Amino acid sequence: MISRVVAGQLPVLLNPVSLGWLVNWREEGYFLDRTIQGAKERGIASAAVAPMSFNPRDHAQWPAGWEQDALNYRALEWWDTDRAAGVVKMIAQCLAILATGTPLYIAYNWWSHALECVGMRWNASKTNGIVWTIKNSHNEEDVIELADSKGVPDEAYGVRSVSWQA
C-alpha cells in the first residue's frame, strides 16, 4: 500500500490471508523470507476482491478472480538485512531502507509474527535510543512502538520494486 503512495498512486489495501496457500490454508505463521518469495511469485490479493473478513479455510468459496487480482500486487525485488552482523549494523540497514521512503517488513523471533515497520524515532532515554514504529498486519489504525532490545527486528526486508494494477 505504501509503495503505491510513494509512486504517486492511490493506496490499495491488500489481504495477507490470500497468501494462505503457502501454509496449505492453515491459520499459522510462516517464515518471512518464504512469504516474501510467495508474494513475488503469486502476489497478494486486494481486499476489494478478497475482503479481510474472508476465512482462509473457506478459500474455495472466495470470488472468482482473486488469484488473478493478486498477480497485480507482487513484490518483485527486496532489500535484505543482516542481523548476524550485529544490532548496530541491523539498525543502520533498517534506517537506510526506511530513508528511501519504503516500509520494512520485519519479524521478531520472540513474537513469532511478521509486521510492518513504518519508521524509527530517537529517544535518548532508551537503551539504543531507537523507538521502532510498527503497524500490524490486521489493518489497525494505531501503531505499536517498540524500544530497547525488543525493537530491533530479527529479520527485515524492504520493497525495492513492485508490480501493480494501473
| Residue ranges covered by each domain of the chain | 2-75, 77-159
Looking at residue 60, its pLDDT comes to 81
Non-local CB neighbours of 52 within 8 Å, separated by 6+ positions: 13, 15, 17, 138, 139
Give the 3-state secondary structure of residue 113.
Answer: strand
Options 1.10.287.40, 3.90.70.10, 3.30.1490.20, 3.10.310.30; CATH of 77-159: 3.90.70.10
Which residue do the cell numbers 492453515 mark? 26
How many residues appear in the chain?
Answer: 166
Cell of 59: 478459500
Cell (9 digits) for 135: 503497524
| Spatial separation of the C-alpha atoms in residues 154 and 62, rounded to whole Å | 34
pLDDT 10s digits, 47-97: 898 887 777 777 788 888 999 999 988 888 889 999 999 999 999 999 999
| Window from 27-31, 40-44, 99-103 with minimum mean pLDDT | 27-31
The span from the CA of 14 to the CA of 16, in Å, is: 6
pLDDT tens, position by position, 114-159: 888 999 999 999 888 899 999 886 656 778 999 988 899 999 998 8
Element (H, E) at 64: none
Query: In 3D, which of 26, 3, 25, 27 has the Cα closest to residue 14?
Result: 3
Q: pTM of the full predicted structure? A: 0.76
